[in-house]
Each structure stands twice: as structure tokens, then as C-alpha cells.
Structure 1
Amino acid sequence: MEFSTERLTIRPFNRNDLQDVFTIYNNDDTCKYLLHDKWTHENMHERFNKKLENRVLTKETNLSLAVVNDTKVIGDLSVWYTDMKDTVEIGYSFSNEASGKGYATEAVSSLVKKLFVDFAVHRIQANLDARNKASQRLCERIGMRKEAHFIQDFWNKGEWTDSIVYGMLFSDLKLRK
């Protein structure tokens, strides 16, 4: 899957993207609310190779997409099917330098539209660490609704954390102009 927005190209990762992706994930602030720790020089090839393999979205395989501005990868979009019929979960990370320019909103909203139209998914959801206010704002900007707030339901990085679930149906997308 490859597509473009006004300012971005969204495509599968290629080998030349390693350094840009390492810059995104070798950052404490970016990884603070993710399930994994920041990437290191020792593990970056192993972690990046998994992204290279995730080129097609199927019931069995995840999809990882590079968000490219000009020639630089500024973001990473992930999609995978959940156990519920026609339901996918999305995840995203962006470089600090992309912050505040609307790139994340542009990329994620385009991905959501593509998933509804091209993959005919019924529902899209995002599960986030409740402390991640920027991610909550992004979900709300693209038209997702906050559906649940679970208290200390997830053990991550040595502590109990709250989780928030955002969800969206195709009908929610149509309501947005």
C-alpha cells in the first residue's frame, strides 16, 4: 500500500529508511509511552527488519508504513487486525522535528480513510497510555471517540499504567467535513 497526501508520501519501509527510523525511536520522549524501550545501536537492525517485513495487511500480518516528507521519514504508522471481525488497531510514532506541523494528523487521518474505503474495515481503534496527551489529541482531531479509560490495567516498564481506548466507525468519518 502506497498513497500520498498534500505534503506526505506514505509507503512501506525500505532499507534506506533505517537511519531516519532510528532517529524516531532512539528518543526517550518518543518511547516513554510505547510498549518498547528506545532503540539502541545494538538492536536497531533487528527492530527495523521487522518493519521491513510488515509490507501487507492481512489477518495474519501487520502493516508498517513510513511517513515521508520530501525524502525524510518523519513517522511510522502501524496497523493490525484484532481478534474481532473486521476491526483493526492503529499505532503511530513521529519524530520530534515533525511535531506541531500537522503531519501526524494528515498521515493518520489519511490512513484511517484508506482502511475504511480500501479494506472495508468495520472499526478502527487505538489503545494508548493515558498519560500520552498528544496521542489523545490526535485521536480526537481525526474524529475518534474516547470509549474507555481503564485504571492501572497494564504493567509496562516497571509500573501499572492506565489505558485509554479510542474507536471509530466509517459513519464517524462521514460526519467530518
Structure 2
Amino acid sequence: MEFKTDRLLIRPFNVNDLEDVFHIYHNEATCKYLLHEKWTDENKQEEFHNKLENNVLTKETALNLAVVSGNKVIGDLSVWYTEMEDTVEIGYSFSQEASGKGYATEAVRGLVERLFTSFDVHRIQANLDARNEASQKLCERIGMRKEAHFIQDFWNKGEWTDSIVYGMLYSDLDEKQV
């Protein structure tokens, strides 16, 4: 899957993206609410290899996409099928430098539209650490609805955390967005 938005190119990762992606995931603040710790010099090759391998969305494999502004990767979009029929979950991470410019909203909105129109997805969901207010706001900006808030249901990085689930159906897309 490759597509363009007004300002961005969304495409599978390639080998030249390693340092840009390392810049995103080597940041403590970026990784604060993710399931993994920040990348290190020792593990960056292995971690990045996984993103290179995830270049096609199937029922068995996840898809990772580079969000490119100019010639620099500023974000990472992830999508994978859940165990529920025709349902996918999305995830995203962006560099701190991209924050506040609308790039994440533009990229995730574009991804959601393509998942509904090109993959015949019935439902898209995002599961977040409840403390991640920026991610909650992003979900709401693209038209997702908050469907659940679970209290201390997830053990991550040595502590119990709350989870929030956002979801949307194709019918939730604003008619002007399609």
C-alpha cells in the first residue's frame, strides 16, 4: 500500500529509512505510552528489520508504513487484523519535530480511508494507554469514538495502566473525507 495525502507520502519502509525511524523510537517521550522501550544502538537493526518485513497487510501479517514529509520519515503507521471478522487495529508514532503540524491527523485519516475503501474493512479500532491524551485527541479528530475505558487492565513497563478503546465504522467517515 502506497498513497499520498496533501503533504505526505505514505509507503512501506525501505532500508534507507533506518536512521529516521531510529530518531523516532530512540526518544523516551515518544515511547512512553508504547509497549516497548526506546530503541538503542544495540537493538535498532533488529527492530527496524521487523518494520521492513511488515510490508503487506494480510490476515496473518501486520503492515508498517513510513510517513514521509519531503525526504524524511516523520512517522510510522501500523495496522493489523484482530481476531474479529474484518476488523483491524491501528497504531502510530511520530517524531517530536512533527508534533503540532497536523501531519499525524493527515496520515492517520488517509490510512483509515484506505482501509475502508481498499481492504473492505468493517471496523477500525485503536487501543491506547489512557494517559496518552495526544493520541486520544487524534482519534477524535479523525472521527473515532471512545467506546471503552478499562481500569488498570494492562501491565506494561512495571505498572498497571488503564486502556481506552476507540472505534469507527465506514459509516462514521465524514462524507467530505471520502
Name the counterpart of 1:70.
70
Q: CA deviation at 1:49?
A: 0.1
Name the counterpart of 2:58.
58
Tell me how far apart the structure 2 counterparts of residues 13 and 89 of structure 1 sit (CA, whole Å): 19
What do the CA deviations read for 1:28-59 (whole angstroms, capped 9, x no partner)? Answer: 10000000000000000000000000010000
Name the counterpart of 1:171.
171
1:31-50 alignment to 2 at 5 Å? 31-50=31-50
Name the counterpart of 1:159.
159
What do the CA deviations read for 1:99-158 (whole angstroms, capped 9, x no partner)? Answer: 000000000000000000000100000000000000000000000000000000000000
Q: CA deviation at 1:174?
A: 3.8
Equivalent residues of 2:125, 2:168 under 8 A apart: yes
Change (3 A) 1:157 1:114: same
Tell me how far apart the structure 2 counterparts of residues 59 and 36 of structure 1 sit (CA, whole Å): 23
Equivalent residues of 1:25, 1:31 under 8 A apart: yes
**Residue type of the alignment partner of 2:21:** V
Q: In structure 2, the residue corresponding to 1:64 is in which secondary structure? A: strand
Return the TM-score normalized by structure 1. Answer: 0.99
Equivalent residues of 2:144, 2:168 under 8 A apart: yes
Name the counterpart of 1:8.
8
Equivalent residues of 1:143, 1:176 under 8 A apart: no
Name the counterpart of 2:19.
19
Name the counterpart of 2:140.
140
Tell me how far apart the structure 2 counterparts of residues 150 and 175 of structure 1 sit (CA, whole Å): 31
Question: 1:111 aligned to 2:111?
Answer: yes
Tell me how far apart the structure 2 counterparts of residues 62 and 10 of structure 1 sit (CA, whole Å): 16
**Residue type of the alignment partner of 2:136:** Q
Q: CA deviation at 1:176?
A: 5.8
Q: How many residues align?
A: 177
Q: In structure 2, the residue corresponding to 1:152 is in which secondary structure? A: strand
- Consecutive unaligned residues of structure 2, counting only runs of 5 or more, are none
What do the CA deviations read for 1:38-93 (whole angstroms, capped 9, x no partner)? Answer: 00000000000000000100000000000000000000000000000000000000
What do the CA deviations read for 1:5-47 (whole angstroms, capped 9, x no partner)? Answer: 1100000000000000000000110000000000000000000
Tell me how far apart the structure 2 counterparts of residues 155 and 55 of structure 1 sit (CA, whole Å): 29
**Residue type of the alignment partner of 1:31:** C
Q: In structure 1, the residue corresponding to 2:173 is in which secondary structure? A: helix
Tell me how far apart the structure 1 counterparts of residues 162 and 42 of structure 2 sit (CA, whole Å): 31
Tell me how far apart the structure 2 counterparts of residues 109 and 174 of structure 1 sit (CA, whole Å): 11
**Residue type of the alignment partner of 2:141:** R
- Consecutive unaligned residues of structure 1, counting only runs of 5 or more, are none
Tell me how far apart the structure 1 counterparts of residues 34 and 153 of structure 2 sit (CA, whole Å): 15
